[in-house]
Amino acid sequence: MNDTATQQSQAPVVRLRNVSKVYDGQHALRDVSLDVQRGEFLTILGPSGCGKTTILRLVAGFENATSGSIAIDGRDVTGLPPERRNVNTVFQSYALFPHMNVFDNVAFGLRMKRRPADEIAREVGETLRLVQLEGFEGRMVGKLSGGQQQRVAIARAIINRPLVLLLDEPLSALDYRLRKQMQLDLKHLQRKLGITFVLVTHDQEEAFSMSDRVIVMNNGVIEQVGTPVSVYEEPCNLYVARFVGEINIIDAEVVEPGDGRARVRTGGLDVFMRTGHAFRAGEKAHILLRPEDLRVETLKDLAEDPELEDIFARGRSIVGTVEETIYKGATYDVVVRLDAGGVVTATEFFNEDDETVYFRAGDRVAVSWVEGWEVVLPYEK
């Protein structure tokens, strides 16, 4: 591969620079800059109205940016119509042609390009195999299930082998089980084709299970970009922490700042904790803990088991009272009101041979976690 080809393969396939979009005086996007890497599965995650679909429509060419620039494959496409951009879109509503059968829906793009009939037949057959719809060529789309219709929409979008496939909440109309299956199918399809996928969704589980990288948006700006693991384990602020899963937030005070660590005090606990933020002594902070990272033991059990008590004494441990337990099937949540104030929730797993909820309301307990599993962030009201 020559130097030019190498540079092209390493360059972002989509690049947004300082893009803003204003509707009726209201900002849908504010100065957004973003690189989409070639061949990656990128998900834009956020609540309704955060600007995620606006990004998709700007890249597709359905809307024009108020300011900023958009490049696809190194070419500035600002102002170009959709048909002159090498991208295709799969919509939430599928947007199939109801008067056409499956074959004709999938073949539509190739026919518009005036491809030979034998080539169209071959390409449609191969594409339908990819989406597991062999034998459905003559079926009218109105006779298909929701999942099958979605597969037809995907087949129609990928048959032209676009540089980028844009997916606008394509699974939201499907039932839970079918949605889970389609998530896996889409992920496998993207890996097989090597086409860049950009998915928009409000479902964080969907985003994490499918994506190489996740963008979390809020009110027209990007809050955080990273791998699913880094976004979940290292949220950059409270908004991201709350949006991408259940989180416990404990108010604390920084006693002694440090490099990558800080001594933090809360509820009788006074220990060093890791943090990527620079603090000042006396500054308020938040300790963030995922429910699955917490361990709960009754004070009675700790008193009767010296080894267990020693583990909790050396770890991070806060005392409180169980308020309630919430059954969730394979797990149950233990809600604990801390003596120092505030409430935390810990996720407990059932024993293999005993699915009895161990904790009861009123139990006096200690809540602990392993060093390094917490995240310490600056205080936000």
> Over the stretch 117-140, which tens digit does the pLDDT of each residue have?
999 999 999 999 998 899 999 999
Mean pLDDT of 95-113: 91
Place of tokens 């602990």: 368
Is residue 64 predicted with pLDDT exceeding 60?
yes
Domains of the chain, earliest start first: 12-241 (3.40.50.300), 246-378 (2.40.50.140)
Is residue 5 predicted with pLDDT exceeding 50?
no
> Over the stretch 328-338, which tens digit does the pLDDT of each residue have?
988 999 999 99
- Percentage of the chain exceeding pLDDT 90: 64
Q: Which residues of 2-15 are buried (b: 16+ CB within 10 A; e: fewer)?
A: eeeeeeeeeebbbb
Q: Which residues of 172-189 are buried (b: 16+ CB within 10 A; e: fewer)?
A: eebeeebbeebbebbbeb
Give the separation between CA 200 and CA 356, rounded to whole angstroms. Answer: 40
Collapse the DSSP code of 303 into the 3-class scheme (helix H, G, I; strand E, B; otherwise coil) and give the result.
Answer: helix
> Over the stretch 292-302, which tens digit does the pLDDT of each residue have?
999 999 999 88
| Cβ(53)–Cβ(199) below 8 Å | no
Give the separation between CA 222 and CA 34, rounded to whole angstroms. Answer: 9
- Percentage of the chain exceeding pLDDT 70: 95
Q: What is the mean pLDDT of the chain?
A: 90
Give the DSSP letter string of 262-302: EEEEETTEEEEEE-SS---TT-EEEEEE-GGG-EEEEHHHH
> Over the stretch 91-102, which tens digit does the pLDDT of each residue have?
877 788 899 999
Residue 272: predicted pLDDT: 87
Is residue 279 predicted with pLDDT exceeding 70?
yes
> Over the stretch 16-44, which tens digit does the pLDDT of each residue have?
999 999 999 999 999 999 999 999 999 99
**Residue, of 68 and 304, whose pLDDT is higher:** 68
What is the separation of C-alpha 14 from the centre of its chain, rounded to a whole number of angstroms? 19
Residue 248: predicted pLDDT: 96
Residue 314: predicted pLDDT: 57
Confidence of residue 6 (pLDDT cuts 50, 70, 90): very low
